[in-house]
């Protein structure tokens, strides 16, 4: 369920970055901020468990950033 949510957010950010590149940064940063807070909260678990619990949030944040940057880069390469 969480994976589907992250995929949906990435798809929305990709389309938003293609259509309006400047306006896509605010939702991207908000999503990354919430994923970062979840990662920090999960990282407070003791020992390696904290590291393991925080990893999915870090990779999701990276995927969100990559999706937005890919959309903005593709928009820059369009002929119009």
Q: Is residue 59, in this structure, part of any structural domain at all?
A: yes
pLDDT at residue 53 tops 80: yes
Write out the residue range of the structural domain in which residue 59 sits.
36-41+51-70
Q: What is the pLDDT of residue 45?
A: 95
Residues 6+ apart with CB under 8 A from 50: 42, 43, 44
Averaged pLDDT, 28-44: 95
Let me know if residue 79 belongs to a domain: no
Q: For the residues 3-12, what does the mean pLDDT come to?
A: 94
- In terms of Cα–Cα distance, which of 80, 72, 59 is closest to 15? 72
Q: Is the pLDDT of residue 46 over 90?
A: yes
Domain tally for the chain?
A: 1
Mean of the per-residue pLDDT values for the chain?
A: 93
pLDDT at 80 over 80: no
In-domain check, residue 61? yes
Mean pLDDT, rounded, for 11-34: 94
Q: Is residue 1 part of a domain?
A: no
């Amino acid at each position: 369920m969480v994976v589907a949510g992250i995929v949906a957010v990435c798809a929305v950010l990709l389309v938003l970055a293609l259509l309006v590149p400047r306006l896509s940064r605010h939702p991207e940063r908000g999503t990354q901020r919430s994923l970062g807070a979840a990662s920090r909260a999960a990282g407070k678990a003791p020992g390696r468990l904290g590291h393991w619990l925080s990893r999915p949030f870090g990779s999701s944040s990276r995927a969100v950033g990559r999706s937005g940057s890919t959309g903005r880069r593709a928009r820059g390469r369009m002929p119009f």
